[in-house]
Amino acid sequence: MDSLFVDTNVFLRFLTGDDPTKAARAEKLFRDAVHGKLRLTTSVLVIAEIVWTLESFYRLEKTDIADKVQKILNTPGLECAETSVILHALEFYAGANVDFIDAFHVFWLRQRSQTRVATYDRKHFARAAWIEVVEP
């Protein structure tokens, strides 16, 4: 089965529909994956770019962004490393009003049973009850 890496802009065209022709082609790509015609992969960095672009350029609410990215990650035929971490991070991002990257790191640390973070950005990490912030 063919495997294809999907970059940020394909997801963004699909999610925003700002270029209807590209959005339709992206939709067909995802439909083909759902029907088992090919396997799609993406990365956590692509997901982070999607979140950042939808938030900063398209000015969507965090809950809307989290919903959209959750749908992407639940697409049959699409694989993304760290999916479980990303899904937890999306909930924390939207619910605790933290940056997505910080939310990801909180759950990435939790998965590794790490509880201490050296940072000067106390406010986001400290919102996770299991994190101890250490300022160097």
Average pLDDT across the chain, whole number: 96
Q: What is the pTM of this model?
A: 0.92
Query: Positive or negative CA dihedral for 133, 65, 54, 86?
Result: positive
Residue 104 belongs to a domain: yes
- Asked whether residue 89 is assigned to any structural domain, the reply reads no
Total structural domains in the chain? 2
From first CA to last CA, the distance across the chain in angstroms is 49
Q: Are residues 107 and 136 in the same domain?
A: yes
Residue 1 pLDDT level (bands cut at 50, 70, 90) = confident
Q: Within this chain, do residues 103 and 50 fall inside the same structural domain, yes or no?
A: no
Range of the domain at 131: 98-136
**pLDDT value at residue 102:** 96
Q: What's the average model confidence in pLDDT over 108-129?
A: 93
Domain annotation covers residue 112: yes
CA dihedral sign of residues 59, 63, 64, 67: positive
Same domain, 59 and 102: no
Residue 92 domain flag? no
